[in-house]
Amino acid sequence: MAQPPTDSGEERRNADRLETEVFYQSPFTVVGRVRSFRHAFMGMWFVLRSQHNAWLHAVASALALVLAAVLHVMVRPFTAGEWCDLTIAIVLVWVAEGFNTGLEVLANAVSSERHPVLKMAKDVAAAAVLMAAIGALVVGLILFVPRFVQLLGWPGWAG
């Protein structure tokens, strides 16, 4: 016969122990680290092959880096800080896209039917990608427009 659930002190102690102890620990191994990287690269490949916008991000990332390199040589060098700004902007878009894809996959696994809460979660994740892309665009404009103006020699524009 099953006993009724009780809120005993022992259950509270066990819950406290789970919060303070590492309840899963695996030893460090080189093979384990290689396996972790393999899983991460599989995730990146999944994002690229399943998300059409990821290809747009890839093209935009490549163009931004090539354009920065050309302007760096032809107009004036980018500072280390400017390279960092550009890199962080690009990486932020990719990170947002990765989280968005992961959330979409998880939401689809939870329910194959349309659900308003899952739809809202997907919309919010997509909005995060959009916000990151807009931020990256602003960074690109701040870095590239003055150099284009200088390259084209437009009078009246500060460089």
pLDDT given at position 28: 84
What DSSP string runs through 109-128? Answer: HH-SS--HHHHHHHHHHHHH
pLDDT given at position 60: 97
List Cα–Cα distances, 112 to 47, 51, 103, in angstroms.
20, 19, 14
pLDDT given at position 155: 73
154 pLDDT band, cuts 50/70/90, is: confident
pTM of the model: 0.78
pLDDT given at position 21: 59
Residue 154 CB neighbours (<10 A): 10
Domains of the chain, each with CATH number or no CATH: 52-152 (1.10.287.3610)
pLDDT tens track for 90-119: 999 999 999 999 999 999 999 989 999 999
